[in-house]
């Protein structure tokens, strides 16, 4: 039976007791087949197991990348903590293209964060920038939702094996990212999604990006790992400013205080990229476009209610207090404003559009 | 063989409680020669078995003789379980008749119910209304403190006595029945808290008003300190007083459950029940091994059942609420039999939007998505569907709290509620055709929401009903755009719990 060298690397990566660092050590000195033969005692596997694991990966359409190969991403060539082997669904050549920008953040964002992430994802992708993100719930997902099909191929960097989409809710998004670009992981198919794999994933995510942007994150959120990895590698870090009252903007606001560059539009990121040597046209961002003239509220009540609204969600109690209207009149006015596209209500809170 | 005295048999009518219903019981006492002793047969529970010692002590304390012979008391029908201490008095009377202290004629046409103290006093028995029902058409003799309650259903057929000694003298014709005291010793039910204590909270106040006017079940979702409990406690005060028939039903249930009744014995205000979230299924819906007791849903019937911290209730307890919510009665089945209790309550529940409680404010919640999802799963979709009103609440504005202008008092809101209910009744009364009259723009609004998927078919039905109530409160025939908008808003809190 003749198996490619990659098959032995995959088999080694599938051994639970061999982590990324051990694997790097093993494969640093010997070719995979030799390393596998040497650790056979530890892994307890036979050539049949190697063949079985290899068949599993090829059946799933997972390509395996190793350092030194032409397909190996240039960014990882002299990375201090480069993975020893990479698994990829989709087109692996996407990993070698530039520029790439990581959009990361909390799994429990506000609608502001979701909107900004999706807009940045779409704008960057439209400008030819590959959006890198973790395919997690919240900001990560929103960024890729925006980026998928908007232009440049997206890159998803995930923690677990590529056979098992995590979180399950993003299985469809996961497929779309693989379709338009690539989903990569340093975990082989069949391994569990243990906790330690997430910080490791964040390190890989930063290493594959030219710029890291934090959209929304809590003070001690997981985005901190991505930012730390980016800083270690000299990768510029941007942050989207947010309300000082919002817990989900604590992270980016603190980063801004620490010297991260402010991101108010995709243009700001493109400027940071071109300073790094990339050359892309800077498009007029839709984020900060001047507002088109809108229909005006007509009746006096509607005017009063419209004036009392703000871009932040306001409770009906506050609106009732400010306008002095009763709940019935207030609800009527708000529905009229909503129909005119001047207000939006979600979960009983209202904000001006 | 020395036959000093012949065997004597006495029979006295009484009643026992099963669930909230009384069953007639005939107490037979047999006194015969033999070793002195006292046995009670006929499926007595522990309280009835202990009657032996209470009855003996009460008879001796009252200065009456205790026959030193063999005494057997039988409770017929013997196949029915008898519970409670209410059978003390008929056993004692039967014994006195059998011992020759009372003539059998003087107990003729009377049923006796009452617990005996060791000093011979007659004590309160729970469920007196049901017992009085079961004793019909006999006249009734009860402890003096229970006369008012029994008189609710039996009027002048009820007599009371304070002690066993007094009763013996009355039955012997040595004195007349005593006057019922003007004031009973049962404490007054404290008056309900008033809505004027609530500052601000326009949305919460409005939700209460709509819930009270249309009997819409209400779920309030808000962070700790947003006044959910304070609001809910004031809902019962907005409901109209109970009509006599309902008042009797409510009193009957409370009496059977052994709750304290007010001075006049009749509970004519809608009850307010707020069981703690550790409540068991049985305590909520009723039950018990064989002395079936009404649960909180029945005690709250014709009033308000308030479940604070809805998300903390055991899932089984919440799911058990679905059937009574639908059918307005609860059937409790046990090996010993099935009992139907009323359960026509208005459900008001309060919960935090998530475990940390800050979920209504965007970006303030510190829960993980998984813990939030877990919390939401506790409220099943079918249960959530029972709430017509799901209202998001926010913390009141500090300035408004400190400003000190009192809110609208309960009486003013209750007047609007009563007027709206009268309108609704008048509208439903005449004929079958009572589709809500919808203004054209209101209909268009509903159509938009339906088409955009914001509203399901069931949701449409609920919103229409609530909009109708809102229009009734505004004293308008036509359901307008504003009414539908408000009805839509009053269920907007669903967004915080669904998904």
CA-based nearest residue to A100, from A42, A182, A174, A178 = A182
SS3 B335: coil
Alpha helices in B328-433 (DSSP H): 369-377, 381-385, 398-403, 410-428
- pLDDT number for residue A119: 92
**Is residue A170 domain-shared with residue A315, that is, in the same domain?**
no
Last residue of a domain, one of A260, A275, A290: A275
Q: What are phi and psi of B39, to 5 degrees?
A: -125, 150
**Is residue A270 domain-shared with residue A307, that is, in the same domain?**
no
Q: Using the beta-carbon criterion (under 8 Å), do A315 and B392 form an inter-chain contact?
A: yes
- Cα distance between residue B359 and residue B367, in whole Å: 8
Quick check: is A71 in a domain?
Answer: no
SS3 A266: helix
Q: What is the DSSP string of B99-114?
A: TTSS-GGGGTTEEE--
| Distance from the A247 Cα atom to the nearest Cα atom in chain B, whole angstroms | 5
**Is residue A45 domain-shared with residue A118, that is, in the same domain?**
no
Which of A318, A331, A332 lies closest to B397 in CB terms? A318
Quick check: is A281 in a domain?
Answer: no
- pLDDT number for residue B2: 45
Quick check: is A25 in a domain?
Answer: yes
Chain A interface includes B315 (CB < 8 A): no
Give the burial string for A130-149 (b: 16+ CB within 10 Å, else e). bbbbbbbbbbbbbbbbbbbe
**Is residue A249 domain-shared with residue A339, that is, in the same domain?**
no
β-pairing, B389-392 with B139-143?
unpaired
Give the burial string for B221-255 (b: 16+ CB within 10 Å, else e). bbbeebbbeebbbbbbbbbeebeeebbbbbbbbbb
Q: What percent of chain A shows pLDDT beyond 70?
A: 92
Give the Å distances, CA to CA, from B267 to B186, B189, B249, B385.
Answer: 13, 9, 9, 31
For residue B484, which residues of chain A lie inside 8 Å, CB to CB?
335
- Cα distance between residue A171 and residue A292, in whole Å: 37
Give the burial string for B290-311 (b: 16+ CB within 10 Å, else e). ebbbbbbbbbbbbbbbbbbbbb
Q: Using the beta-carbon criterion (under 8 Å), do A111 and B482 form an inter-chain contact?
A: no
- Cα distance between residue A157 and residue A95, in whole Å: 11
- pLDDT number for residue B353: 83
The answer, yes or no, to whether residue A290 has pLDDT greater than 50, is: no
SS3 A114: helix
- Cα distance between residue A266 and residue A121, in whole Å: 8
- pLDDT number for residue B287: 81
pLDDT band at A350 (very low <50, low <70, confident <90, very high): confident
**Shortest CA distance from B398: residue in chain A:** A318
For residue A112, which residues of chain B lie inside 8 Å, CB to CB?
362-363
Q: Which of the residue ranges A41-55, A210-224, A290-304, B218-232 would you say has the lowest mean pLDDT?
A: A290-304
Rg over alpha carbons for chain A, rounded to the nearest Å, is 24
The answer, yes or no, to whether residue A288 has pLDDT greater than 60, is: no
Q: Residue B313 is inside which H or E element, if any?
A: none
**Shortest CA distance from B480: residue in chain A:** A332
CA-based nearest residue to A203, from A182, A185, A225 = A225
The answer, yes or no, to whether residue A278 has pLDDT greater than 50, is: no
Cβ within 8 Å of residue A99, ≥6 positions away: A128, A129, A130, A210, A211, A273, A276, A278, A280
Is B494 within 8 Å of B390 (Cβ atoms)? Answer: yes
| Dihedral in degrees, nearest 10, Cα atoms B409, B415, B418, B419 | -140
| Dihedral in degrees, nearest 10, Cα atoms B276, B282, B287, B293 | -10
- Cα distance between residue A232 and residue A203, in whole Å: 10
**Shortest CA distance from A216: residue in chain B:** B363
Query: Is the bond into A167 cis (omega within 30 degrees of 0)?
Result: yes
DSSP state of A288: T
**Shortest CA distance from B442: residue in chain A:** A332
Q: What is the pLDDT of residues A313-346, one digit of tens each?
A: 788 888 888 888 888 889 989 988 888 888 888 7
Q: Residue B433 is inside which H or E element, if any?
A: none
CATH of the domain at A335: 1.10.10.10
Which of A327, A339, A346 lies closest to B486 in CB terms? A327
- Cα distance between residue B148 and residue B264, in whole Å: 7
- pLDDT number for residue A1: 56
Q: Which two tokens stand for residue B262?
A: 């007010």
For residue B211, which residues of chain A lie inside 8 Å, CB to CB?
none
Quick check: is A294 in a domain?
Answer: no
**Is residue A102 domain-shared with residue A218, that is, in the same domain?**
yes
Q: Using the beta-carbon criterion (under 8 Å), do A347 and B397 form an inter-chain contact?
A: no
Is B97 within 8 Å of B58 (Cβ atoms)? Answer: no
Triad B484, B487, B489: Cα angle to 5°:
110
CA-based nearest residue to B393, from A346, A331, A315, A333 = A315
- Test mutation, A106, A139, A328, A334, chain B, max B CBs within 10 A: A328
Give the burial string for B34-53 (b: 16+ CB within 10 Å, else e). eeeebebebbbbebbeebbe
- pLDDT number for residue B143: 94
Is B148 within 8 Å of B265 (Cβ atoms)? Answer: yes
Q: Which of the residue ranges A141-150, A257-266, B437-446 would you say has the lowest mean pLDDT?
A: B437-446
- Cα distance between residue A137 and residue A203, in whole Å: 18
SS3 B36: coil
Q: Using the beta-carbon criterion (under 8 Å), do B366 and A112 form an inter-chain contact?
A: no
- Cα distance between residue A8 and residue A14, in whole Å: 10
Q: What is the mean pLDDT of residues A13-40?
A: 82
- Cα distance between residue B81 and residue B495, in whole Å: 51
Residue-level pLDDT, tens digit, chain B, 499 residues:
444 567 788 999 999 988 788 889 999 999 998 889 999 998 888 888 889 999 999 999 999 999 999 999 999 888 788 887 889 999 999 999 998 899 999 888 999 999 999 999 999 998 898 899 898 889 999 999 889 888 888 888 899 999 999 999 999 999 989 888 765 455 555 567 888 888 888 889 999 999 999 999 999 988 888 888 889 999 988 999 899 889 888 998 888 888 877 766 788 889 999 999 888 888 888 887 656 788 999 999 999 999 998 888 888 888 889 889 888 889 888 776 778 889 999 999 999 888 887 776 666 677 777 788 888 888 888 888 889 999 988 888 777 777 767 788 888 999 999 999 998 888 776 655 555 678 888 888 888 888 887 788 888 888 999 999 999 999 888 888 999 999 998 988 887 766 5
The answer, yes or no, to whether residue A289 has pLDDT greater than 50, is: no
| A133 bridge partner residues | A156
Order of all β-strands in the sheet with A100-104: A63-65, A86-90, A182-185, A155-157, A130-133, A100-104, A211-214, A237-239, A261-262
Give the burial string for B58-82 (b: 16+ CB within 10 Å, else e). bbebbebebbebbbbbbbeeeebbb
CATH of the domain at A145: 3.40.50.450
Is A224 within 8 Å of A251 (Cβ atoms)? Answer: yes
**Shortest CA distance from B396: residue in chain A:** A317
- pLDDT number for residue A292: 53
For residue A249, which residues of chain B lie inside 8 Å, CB to CB?
363
- Give strand ranges (E) for B62-150: 70-76, 110-112, 115-116, 122-123, 139-143
Is A62 within 8 Å of A90 (Cβ atoms)? Answer: no
pLDDT band at A42 (very low <50, low <70, confident <90, very high): low
Chain A interface includes B447 (CB < 8 A): no
CA of residue B76 relative to chain centroid, distance = 30
**Is residue A123 domain-shared with residue A235, that is, in the same domain?**
yes
Q: Using the beta-carbon criterion (under 8 Å), do A347 and B493 form an inter-chain contact?
A: yes
**Is residue A212 domain-shared with residue A105, that is, in the same domain?**
yes
| Distance from the A316 Cα atom to the nearest Cα atom in chain B, whole angstroms | 7
Q: What is the pLDDT of residues B168-209, one digit of tens each?
A: 999 999 998 988 876 545 555 556 788 888 888 888 999 999
**Is residue A210 domain-shared with residue A316, that is, in the same domain?**
no
pLDDT band at A297 (very low <50, low <70, confident <90, very high): low
Chain A interface includes B356 (CB < 8 A): no
Residues comprising chain A, all counted: 353
Quick check: is A131 in a domain?
Answer: yes
Q: Residue B494 is inside which H or E element, if any?
A: helix B494-497
DSSP state of A116: H
How many independent structural domains does chain A possess?
3
**Is residue A153 domain-shared with residue A97, that is, in the same domain?**
yes
| Distance from the A113 Cα atom to the nearest Cα atom in chain B, whole angstroms | 9
B 467-496: CB under 8 A from A: 470, 474, 480-486, 488-489, 492-493, 495-496
**Is residue A213 domain-shared with residue A264, that is, in the same domain?**
yes
For residue B366, which residues of chain A lie inside 8 Å, CB to CB?
218, 247
Chain A interface includes B362 (CB < 8 A): yes
Quick check: is A282 in a domain?
Answer: no
Quick check: is A293 in a domain?
Answer: no
What is the pTM for the complete model shown?
0.73
Higher per-residue confidence, A191 vs B214: B214
DSSP state of A7: H
| B273 bridge partner residues | B305
| Dihedral in degrees, nearest 10, Cα atoms B337, B343, B349, B355 | 10
For residue A246, which residues of chain B lie inside 8 Å, CB to CB?
362-364
Q: Using the beta-carbon criterion (under 8 Å), do B483 and A349 form an inter-chain contact?
A: no
B 161-220: CB under 8 A from A: 200-204, 206
- pLDDT number for residue A279: 47
- Cα distance between residue A184 and residue A347, in whole Å: 37
- Test mutation, A116, A324, A332, chain B, max B CBs within 10 A: A332
- Region for B286 from its dihedrals, namely left if φ exceeds 0, alpha if ψ lies in -120 to 50, beta otherwise: left
Q: What is the DSSP string of A42-93?
A: HH---HHHHHHHHHHHHHTT-EEE-TTSTTS-GGGTT-TT--S-EEEEE-GG
Q: What is the pLDDT of residues B283-331, one digit of tens each?
A: 888 887 656 788 999 999 999 999 998 888 888 888 889 889 888 889 8
Q: What is the pLDDT of residues B239-280, one digit of tens each?
A: 998 998 898 889 988 888 888 777 667 888 899 999 998 888
Which of A315, A331, A347 lies closest to B485 in CB terms? A331
For residue A313, which residues of chain B lie inside 8 Å, CB to CB?
362
Is B250 within 8 Å of B189 (Cβ atoms)? Answer: no
Quick check: is A70 in a domain?
Answer: no
Q: Using the beta-carbon criterion (under 8 Å), do B489 and A108 form an inter-chain contact?
A: no
Q: Using the beta-carbon criterion (under 8 Å), do A332 and B486 form an inter-chain contact?
A: yes
| Dihedral in degrees, nearest 10, Cα atoms B375, B379, B385, B389 | -60
For chain A, the residues whose C-beta falls within 8 A of a C-beta of chain B are 107-113, 137-138, 216, 218, 242-243, 245-249, 313, 315-318, 320-321, 326-329, 331-332, 334-336, 339, 345-349
CA-based nearest residue to B257, from B294, B298, B283 = B294
| Dihedral in degrees, nearest 10, Cα atoms B133, B138, B143, B148 | 50
**Is residue A30 domain-shared with residue A126, that is, in the same domain?**
no
Residue-range definition of the domain harbouring residue A342: 300-352
The answer, yes or no, to whether residue A133 has pLDDT greater than 90, is: yes
- Cα distance between residue A220 and residue B200, in whole Å: 36
Looking at chain A, the number of H-run helices and the number of E-run strands are 15, 12
**Is residue A114 domain-shared with residue A252, that is, in the same domain?**
yes
Give the Å distances, CA to CA, from A204 to A144, A160, A194.
Answer: 17, 13, 16
């Amino acid at each position: 039976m003749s198996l490619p060298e990659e098959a032995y690397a995959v088999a080694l990566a599938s051994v639970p007791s061999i982590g990324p660092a051990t694997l790097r050590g093993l494969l640093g000195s010997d070719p995979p087949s030799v390393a596998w033969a040497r650790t056979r005692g530890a892994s307890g596997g036979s050539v049949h197991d190697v063949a079985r694991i290899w068949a599993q990966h090829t059946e799933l359409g997972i390509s395996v990348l190793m350092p030194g190969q032409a397909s190996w991403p240039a960014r990882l060539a002299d990375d201090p903590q480069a993975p020893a082997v990479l698994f990829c669904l989709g087109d692996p050549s996407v990993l070698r293209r530039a520029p790439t920008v990581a959009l990361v953040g909390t799994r429990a964002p506000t609608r502001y964060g979701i909107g900004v992430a999706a807009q940045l994802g779409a704008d960057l992708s439209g400008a030819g920038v590959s959006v890198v993100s973790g395919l997690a719930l919240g900001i990560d997902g929103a960024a890729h939702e925006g980026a998928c099909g908007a232009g440049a191929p997206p890159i998803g960097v995930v923690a677990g094996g590529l056979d098992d989409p995590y979180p399950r809710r993003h299985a469809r998004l996961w497929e779309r990212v693989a379709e338009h670009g690539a989903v990569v992981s340093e975990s082989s198919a069949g391994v569990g999604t243990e906790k330690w794999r997430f910080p490791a994933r964040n390190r890989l995510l930063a290493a594959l990006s030219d710029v890291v942007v934090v959209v929304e994150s809590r003070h001690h959120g997981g985005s901190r790992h991505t930012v730390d990895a980016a800083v270690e590698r000299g990768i510029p870090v941007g942050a989207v400013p947010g309300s000082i009252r919002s817990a989900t903007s604590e992270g980016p606001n603190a980063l801004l205080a620490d010297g991260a560059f402010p991101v108010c539009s995709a243009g700001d990121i493109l400027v940071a990229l071109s300073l790094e040597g990339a050359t892309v046209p800077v498009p007029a961002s839709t984020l900060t476009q001047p507002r088109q003239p809108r229909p005006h509220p007509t009746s006096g009540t509607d005017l009063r209610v419209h004036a009392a609204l703000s871009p932040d969600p306001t409770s009906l109690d506050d609106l009732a207090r400010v306008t002095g209207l009763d709940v019935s009149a207030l609800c009527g006015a708000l529905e009229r404003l909503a129909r005119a596209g001047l207000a939006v209500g979600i979960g009983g809170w209202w904000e001006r559009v | 063989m020395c036959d000093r005295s012949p065997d004597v048999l006495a029979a006295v009518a009484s009643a026992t409680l099963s669930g909230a219903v009384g069953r007639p019981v005939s107490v037979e006492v047999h006194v015969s020669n033999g070793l002195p002793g006292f046995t009670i047969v006929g499926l007595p529970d522990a309280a009835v078995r202990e009657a032996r010692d209470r009855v003996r002590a009460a008879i001796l304390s009252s200065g009456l003789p205790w026959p030193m012979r063999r005494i057997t008391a039988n409770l017929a029908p013997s196949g029915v379980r008898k519970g409670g201490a209410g059978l003390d008095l008929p056993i004692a009377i039967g014994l006195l008749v059998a011992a020759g202290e009372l003539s059998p004629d003087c107990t003729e046409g009377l049923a006796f119910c009452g617990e005996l103290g060791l000093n011979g006093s007659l004590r309160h028995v729970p469920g007196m209304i049901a017992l009085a029902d079961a004793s019909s058409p006999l006249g009734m003799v009860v402890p003096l403190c229970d006369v008012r309650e029994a008189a609710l259903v039996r009027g002048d057929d009820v007599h009371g006595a304070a002690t066993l000694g007094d009763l013996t003298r009355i039955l012997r014709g040595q004195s007349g029945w005593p006057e019922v005291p003007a004031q009973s010793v049962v404490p007054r039910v404290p008056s309900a808290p008033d809505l004027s204590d609530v500052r601000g909270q326009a949305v919460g106040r409005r939700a209460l008003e709509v819930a009270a006017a249309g009997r819409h079940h209400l779920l309030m979702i808000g962070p700790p300190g947003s006044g959910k409990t304070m609001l809910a406690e004031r809902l019962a005060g907005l409901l109209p007083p109970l009509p006599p028939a309902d008042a009797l039903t409510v009193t009957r249930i409370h009496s059977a459950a052994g709750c304290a009744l007010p001075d006049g014995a009749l509970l004519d205000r809608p009850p307010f029940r707020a069981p703690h979230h550790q409540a068991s299924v049985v305590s909520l819906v009723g039950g018990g091994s064989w002395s079936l007791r009404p649960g909180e849903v029945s005690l709250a019937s014709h009033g308000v059942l308030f479940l604070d911290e809805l998300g903390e209730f055991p899932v089984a307890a919440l799911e058990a609420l679905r059937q009574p919510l639908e059918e307005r009665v609860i059937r409790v089945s046990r090996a010993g039999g099935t009992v139907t209790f009323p359960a026509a309550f208005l459900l008001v529940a309060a919960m935090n939007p998530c475990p940390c409680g800050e979920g209504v404010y965007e970006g303030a919640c510190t829960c993980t998505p998984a813990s939030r999802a877990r919390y939401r799963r506790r409220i099943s979709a079918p249960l959530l569907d029972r709430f017509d009103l799901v209202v998001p609440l926010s913390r009141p504005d500090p300035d408004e709290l400190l400003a000190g202008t009192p809110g609208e008092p309960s009486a003013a809101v209750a007047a609007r509620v009563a007027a709206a209910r009268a309108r609704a009744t008048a509208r439903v009364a005449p004929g079958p055709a009572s589709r809500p009259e919808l203004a054209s723009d209101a209909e268009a609004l509903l159509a938009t929401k339906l088409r955009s998927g914001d509203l399901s078919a069931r949701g449409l039905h609920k919103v229409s009903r609530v909009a109708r109530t809102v229009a009734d409160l505004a004293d308008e025939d036509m359901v307008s755009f504003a009414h539908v908008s408000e009805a839509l808003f009053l269920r907007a809190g669903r967004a915080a719990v669904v998904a």
